[in-house]
Amino acid sequence: MPKTKQIAATVVAVSLIGSLAVASGVQAAGLSLGALVASQCNTCHGTDGEGAQSVPRLAGLDADEIFESMKAFASGEDTASIMDRVAKGYSDEQLHAVANYYSEQ
């Protein structure tokens, strides 16, 4: 095998092992996808989405409401000081997972 191909194959193998390790690490820690995404929201929205100062509470809101709200922020349909940028960083799967997570808090 030419050296560059060998290096490329090694890089692919190493990154595959890396992502498997991350995936099993998440499962080992018992974190669902929703909880994982929520850990990036809680810095502003408070522990378990209880809300903090001027940041609204998410805990106990309807899951569809949270999801639709995120889509509206991402599309610019809803104006926001910060959520327009935050909402663009997640896939629909991640948004459904985090919406379900907060609705159950």
Cα distance between residue 90 and residue 92, in whole Å: 7
| HSE toward the beta carbon, residue 82, CA cutoff 13 A | 6
Q: Does 82 bind ligand HEC (CB under 6 A)?
A: yes
Q: Does 81 bind ligand HEC (CB under 6 A)?
A: yes
Identified binder of ligand HEC from the candidate list 69, 74, 96, 103, rule CB under 6 A: 69
Identified binder of ligand HEC from the candidate list 63, 66, 74, 97, rule CB under 6 A: 66
Q: From start to end of the chain, where are the E strands?
A: none
Closest CB to ligand HEC among residues 18, 69: 69
* Phi/psi at 94 (5° precision): -65, -40
Q: Does 63 bind ligand HEC (CB under 6 A)?
A: no
Q: Does 26 bind ligand HEC (CB under 6 A)?
A: no
Identified binder of ligand HEC from the candidate list 31, 33, 36, 55, rule CB under 6 A: 55
Three-state SS at 99: helix
Shortest reach from residue 93's CB to ligand HEC, in Å: 13
* Phi/psi at 47 (5° precision): -55, 125
